[in-house]
Every structure is written in C-alpha cells, then in structure tokens.
C-alpha cells in the first residue's frame, strides 16, 4: 500500500486535531477520516476550516479503555493512527499520567492488536527542556534526567514507548513529532494568553533582556508534518529512515520572545510607548513574592518563577532532519499565522 486509506485521529476534536482533520481532508485521494475523542467536534467551526463535517466519522470513548479504542480502530479500518490527544499545560499531574502514559500505552497495544500499520504520535519539543537554555537543538539532544514538570515528563515517557513499539517485522511503524510552541486558530493558550496580557495592561513589562530565541509553530504546519510523516512511513523506499525516529517541527524562523509577543499586540492594534524591563533575577524574586501573596489570598498567581524561566530561556531548534527526511517546510509564516489566529478569535466562537 502507498496511500492513506483511512486515518483515525485520536484527540481529533481538539485544537491540533481540527488542523489535522483539515490537512488529511486536503490529501488527494482523500482518505476516510475518523475521530476518537471524549467530546464531539465543536458545534461551530472557524470559517478557516473548509473540511466537510459530514464526511468526518466520530467515535466517542475513553482513551484508556481498551474496548473503546479497539472498537474505534476496527470500525474505522484505519491503516494510519495519529495520536495527538493531550491535556493542556498547568493541570494536575495525575491527569498527565492517565492520558499521556496510560492512554498512549493503550493506543499502542490496540494498534498492534488490530493490525494498524502506522502510528504518528504528537510529542513535544518540551521533552528536552528542563529550564536550561536550548540553543539550536536537534534530535541528538538527550531527554533530561530531571524533568521540568509532569507534562514534559509524561510526554517523554509516552514518546519513548511509541518509538520502542516500532516493529518493522510485524509491519508496525511509529514516529514521534516534537512541535514547538504551537499556535493558530483554536489555540486557547498562546495567542489568547498574550491578548489577555495586553488587556490587563501588562504588556508594558518586559521580563528578561529579549535576547532569547524562541520557536513558534503554526498549527497547520504541524498538521502538515503529520501527513508527511504518515506518507513517508507508508512508502517502502522511505519508511526505514523515518520509522522509530523523532523530529522537531517548527516554523524554521526562531525569533526573540518579546518580538513575537509584540507582533501579536501590534496586530491587535496595541503598541506600548514605554517598556519597563525586569531583569531575570529581579523577575524571579517578583515571581516568588507574587506566588506567596497569591497563596495568602487564595488566588492564582499571574507571575511565577516557573513562568519567568520559561519566558527568559532560549528555546530554538534545528529542524534539518525533518526537512531532509520528511520533506517538511513550513507553509504558513509566523506573521500570517498570527493574523489567522486573531481572525479566528474575532469570530468569537
């Protein structure tokens, strides 16, 4: 076989999932598209999604349930499974273990049981990050022994499980993609978060010296990488080089953290006349203070040492491997991506 007959997108109702539906829908010839998630597709979709909802088959179920997963795989007759289900950052560690580790173990086991050929897993560029600067990292950088948080730890464990499951002798091929800083229509963290910062009048503060390079990736490009990975794994000529591998996926245009933030604010019509710069050590102290005061008041702190470290760290990547082996190039640039995201937000869905 050399084409995608049917694809099952686990987590297909989510932010990245919708972009995956779109990218798979645009393939010629179009595969059958099935979604497995705990919740239905959103009732109202952004105008930017052009796929036909009626063509998408939905399977409701629990990711950790073998029966639910087996039924979905069998009904979809999928030869390709994409697993992009993941809780958002900032939640209870237990949820990460259940979804990212137990859930992924279940996906792998059921794929093998049902004779699925291809599994593409959405990992995270964060798996190699533990607070230290990441300068132009490629896939040879190691997973840190001490993880930064539960999210990154469980993503790394899941990634490892997926790659170890790669088994050409039983016609089962796996790959893990590590996108960095995903944003786009449907994003409820990155761009909306920045917009909120401006509304609260906090955009006049700059934490750190704005010399740290940061990678953002437009969601449509991430989805495109998944399609490419699946196609490479289906092709006997390319699957050997690609299977069992990880790939960083970015927009290939890292830039300074606050330049990205200010581009969002500018596109929103917001430009600060004067910027107050807080150096990293000062900001970390302020973070501890903020955390302490918020705890006293029983509120969620806006500034934390964790966030300061995130904002001040270099985190950019070398995607030569994805370009060479997957044939990946980012089709939507950062500025265009930001404008698309703001347009989606203005739809008020």
> For other proteins, which residue of 30, 60, 113, 135 counts as binding (CB under 8 A)?
135
- 32, 12 contact by CB (below 8 A): no
243 annotated to bind ligand: no
Told to check if 204 binds other proteins by CB under 8 A, we report no
186 annotated to bind ligand: no
* Residue 31 φ/ψ, nearest 5 degrees: -80, 165
Judged by CB under 8 A, the number of residues near other proteins is: 28
> For other proteins, which residue of 166, 255, 294, 304 counts as binding (CB under 8 A)?
255
44 catalytic residue (yes or no): no
d(CA 250, CA 248): 7
Told to check if 202 binds other proteins by CB under 8 A, we report no
Of the candidates 313, 322, 309, the one whose C-alpha atom is nearest the C-alpha of residue 251 is: 322
Partners of 247 in the β-ladder: 177
Give the strand order in the sheet containing 213-214. 134-137, 315-317, 213-214, 255-256
What string of DSSP letters covers 202-213?
Answer: GGGEEES-S--E
15 annotated to bind ligand: yes
DSSP label of 47 = T
**Quick one: which H or E segment has residue 9?**
strand 6-10
85 annotated to bind ligand: yes
Told to check if 256 binds other proteins by CB under 8 A, we report yes
Piece of 112-120, 152-160, 167-175, 253-261 that binds other proteins (CB under 8 A): 253-261
Long-range Cβ contact pairs of 292-296 (< 8 A, separation 24 or more):
none
Positive or negative, the CA dihedral 152, 158, 162, 164 is positive
> For other proteins, which residue of 278, 310, 334, 344 counts as binding (CB under 8 A)?
334
> For other proteins, which residue of 266, 279, 299, 324 counts as binding (CB under 8 A)?
266
Question: Which 304-323 residues touch other proteins, going by CB under 8 A?
Answer: 316, 318, 320
86 annotated to bind ligand: yes
182 annotated to bind ligand: yes
Told to check if 148 binds other proteins by CB under 8 A, we report no
Query: In b/e form, how buried is each residue of 284-300, taking b as 16+ CB within 10 angstroms?
Result: bebbeebbeeeeeeeee
Piece of 52-60, 63-71, 130-138, 292-300 that binds other proteins (CB under 8 A): 130-138
Told to check if 349 binds other proteins by CB under 8 A, we report no
Catalytic residue among 77, 102, 155, 321: 155
d(CA 59, CA 70): 11
Told to check if 227 binds other proteins by CB under 8 A, we report no
What is the crossing angle of helices 305-312 and 280-297, to 10°?
Answer: 150
151 annotated to bind ligand: yes
Helix, strand, coil percent content, the chain, rounded in steps of 5: 45, 15, 35
Indicate the length of the chain as a whole number: 349
> For other proteins, which residue of 5, 62, 138, 149 counts as binding (CB under 8 A)?
138
Token pair recorded at residue 74: 């069998």
Closer by beta carbon to other proteins, 37 or else 215 = 215
> For other proteins, which residue of 48, 238, 263, 329 counts as binding (CB under 8 A)?
263
Piece of 113-121, 232-240, 260-268, 292-300 that binds other proteins (CB under 8 A): 260-268
Piece of 117-125, 227-235, 259-267, 282-290 that binds other proteins (CB under 8 A): 259-267
Binding footprint of other proteins on the chain (CB under 8 A): 132-133, 135-136, 138, 140-142, 210-211, 213, 253-256, 259-260, 262-263, 265-266, 271-272, 316, 318, 320, 334-335
- The binding site for substrate comprises 124, 151
Q: Which residues carry out catalysis? A: 155
């Amino acid at each position: 076989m050399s084409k995608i007959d049917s694809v099952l997108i686990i987590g297909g109702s989510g932010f990245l999932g919708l972009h995956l539906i779109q990218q798979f829908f645009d393939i010629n010839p179009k595969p059958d598209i099935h979604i497995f998630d705990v919740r239905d597709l959103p009732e109202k979709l952004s105008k930017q999604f052009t796929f036909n909802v009626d063509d998408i088959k939905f399977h409701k179920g629990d990711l950790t349930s073998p029966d639910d997963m087996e039924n979905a795989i069998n009904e979809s007759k999928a030869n390709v499974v994409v697993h992009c289900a993941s809780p958002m950052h900032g939640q209870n560690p237990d949820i990460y273990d259940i979804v990212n580790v137990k859930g992924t173990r279940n996906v792998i086991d059921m794929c093998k049981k049902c004779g699925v050929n291809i599994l593409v897993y959405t990992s995270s560029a964060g798996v190699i990050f533990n607070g230290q600067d990441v300068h132009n990292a490629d896939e040879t950088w190691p997973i840190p022994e001490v993880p930064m948080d539960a999210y990154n730890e469980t993503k790394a464990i899941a990634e490892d499980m997926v790659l170890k499951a790669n088994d050409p002798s039983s016609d089962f091929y796996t790959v893990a993609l590590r996108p960095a800083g995903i944003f786009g229509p449907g994003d409820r963290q990155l761009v909306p978060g920045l917009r909120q910062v401006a509304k609260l009048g906090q955009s006049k503060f700059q934490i750190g010296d704005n010399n740290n390079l940061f990678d953002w990736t437009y969601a449509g490009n991430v989805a495109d990488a998944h399609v490419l990975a699946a196609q490479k794994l289906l092709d006997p000529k390319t699957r050997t080089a690609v299977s069992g591998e990880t790939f960083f996926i970015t927009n290939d245009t890292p830039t300074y953290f606050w330049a990205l933030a200010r581009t969002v604010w500018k596109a929103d019509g917001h430009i600060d006349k004067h910027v107050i710069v807080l150096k990293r050590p000062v900001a970390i102290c302020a973070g501890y203070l903020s955390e302490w005061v918020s705890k006293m008041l029983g509120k969620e702190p806006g500034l934390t040492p964790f966030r300061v470290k995130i904002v001040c760290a270099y985190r950019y990547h070398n995607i030569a491997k994805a370009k060479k082996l997957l044939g990946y190039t980012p089709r939507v640039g950062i500025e265009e991506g930001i404008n698309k995201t703001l347009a989606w937000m203005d739809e008020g869905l």
